[in-house]
Chains A and B, each alone.
Chain A
């Protein structure tokens, strides 16, 4: 080639061709089976066990799925970053015209490409399954954005660490460090090591939780939209980290002449300026996001809100039309839970039949948002679907619709329903039935085959009856306030031993007084 021809060469580098080669030979390909296995056991099965509502299912992709993807992304990126050292190609690559930062950016991009692709594939699987089961709503996209930026930022963190500290232990150390950081972050988010207690978390903790906080309420995003506030802060924070890491790659001398730290030739000034500006912008974005997250507050209706980012339009209830079934007693639930309607109806009809015709007995049960309901001590509320799910834990609880129809689940619904009814308005507000109300509830539940609810004195032997209701109830007495489980059970047996007609007659005559708290344990037949 002549010198003239050579001087006419122009830099028409095609990053796509180099990227294609890096993608083809990326080390991430080798860990895809591991990622698939982790996804299946750690994310997919968990999501599949959740009710088929979009927000609840999406919580997995910014929760456990993002955590293990981040750990692996950081580790594998650190490993890839040490490639030039491991393969002893540093000298050879240093003589090429392409700037080291651009070359490394290509390698980082290939790593991030595979990791993000794998992450999105996982999201697609979860969303596809949800789409096949969900009866209401659509896929939330903010969690996907959070996950994508999170995975990319993890890749950048790992890659930068691998470039800064090339060594055989860098990758595992980075992976473990990222895992510990997540663990500490999530623990901090929950104030204590309780992943469900996000309501107690404050401020910046919001950065570490999924869209509506750890394990979401089952009706999150159903009655109210989940505001994107936290997601925006998370994208800002992790995007800032990504920018800082990429900027550092361009700034670090070690990144340009492998093996010859601090002895590199003079760098291009514009590159230094641009990289420094990138780092500054990244720091600003992350610090701003951190500060914004510090102002976050938890809203029972819609999850975390950040005032500066909050759109009041998100506070408006989402319109819906209830799905109903039943005859004399109608059961209605939100269309998002339509697959549960049959199970709900089957659970409530026997309990409703026991109290049908009594003064004040309900003829219809409507599902409303769990956040609007007071809890009744020792029971699950009929209407509070979220409490239903959380209290059950385990497989039968976080189950598909078919799995949800278990004896425990049905009995829990019946316990809540009967206890809610006999407690009456005063005790529903105070969330604690009187001993007489408990005894009547136990007797009624026994007739439909449901076990004794977990009232305080039954779940903790020796505990006396709830005292808060006693002070408010007109019939309160010392004897009533100190009733034991044995006394309540004996009273329940007495009512239970009556003939159906006699029991019915007693209930008809006394249910109003009982519900107002005016009946004591000794007044039961």
Chain B
């Protein structure tokens, strides 16, 4: 398993952002759904080794990220696209991706080829020498994806990856993560259930810091039978699970 979480909790002051989550995932595309404040980003940041858990155990790529040497090795094999991508405006597309390839400690001789391949995979080859300040929001998102995949990660964490992409790019992106999921574990945190339906082999739905549903997209859609909120089966399943979760919490 590339991801193994056991009863993981993360608190910020008195706020419990992640509350006793246990998950395991191997290669494939794993969708992480949930409303705002459900704890998706906190969970993703723990998976990204940015945040240590307040309690519980985290194992990534068969290593304990709490140990410095293991954490470094995990980070070499990790790709991460945060929800709000920060960037340096004066860097070109290629330089930005190269910068992260270097920080991910890729073997130096592989860097130029890997950078070119990553930039091509997000369809930014013609803009490789463009400065980031000149790019649109959608293009910047693709740059973020390129830096995340440049090292051929075993664990790829994408927080709202399709935000700002046009429909054509979203289709291409889904194809890309399906391809990456052949060998790596891809975790996609998103609000867009259609991304999950077409790209993910497995999905988890979070609410109030807990995982309230885990299964295939088909199983999530099945939860929505008879539920009226939502335009698609997946949306109805999403709404139904959340509604049931809220009732349970209220009770």
Contacts and interface: CB of A to CB of B under 8 A. Distances in A.
Given A2-B183, A11-B72, A266-B68, A91 B45 contact: yes
Contacts of B111: 17
Given A92-B85, A96-B103, 10 more contacts: A1-B152, A3-B154, A89-B86, A89-B88, A91-B50, A92-B100, A95-B50, A265-B66, A265-B71, A266-B66
B78 A95 contact: yes
Interface stretch (B90-98, B169-177, B189-197, B211-219): B90-98
A92 B51 contact: no
B69 to A, nearest CB: 8
A98 B68 CA distance: 11
Interface of A: 1-3, 6, 9-14, 17-18, 21, 24-25, 83-84, 87-99, 103, 257, 260, 263-268
B72 A97 contact: yes
CB-based closest 7 A-B pairs: A88-B86, A89-B86, A1-B152, A96-B103, A97-B75, A14-B108, A97-B105
- Max chain B Cβ within 10 angstroms of own Cβ: one of A1, A10, A93: A1
B102 interface: yes
A263 B72 CA distance: 17
Nearest to A86: B86
Contacts of A91: 45, 48, 50, 80, 82, 86
A95 B68 contact: no
Nearest to A3: B154
Contact of B75 (A10, A18, A96, A268): A96
B226 interface: no
In terms of DSSP, what is the predominant structure of the interface of chain A?
loop
B104 interface: yes
B27 to A, nearest CB: 9
B87 to A, nearest CB: 7
Interface residues of B, number: 43
A18 B103 contact: yes
A288 to B, nearest CB: 34
A90 B50 CA distance: 9
B174 to A, nearest CB: 21
Interface of B: 45, 48-52, 65-69, 71-73, 75-78, 80, 82, 84-88, 90-91, 95, 98-100, 102-108, 111, 147, 152, 154, 183
Contact of B88 (A3, A10, A18, A87): A87
A98 B91 contact: no
A13 B77 contact: no
Given A12-B108, A91-B50, A265-B66, A6 B86 contact: no
A95 B48 contact: yes
A89 B95 CA distance: 15
Contacts of B49: 94-95, 265
B103 A93 contact: yes
A11 B88 contact: no
B52 A11 contact: no
A265 B95 CA distance: 29
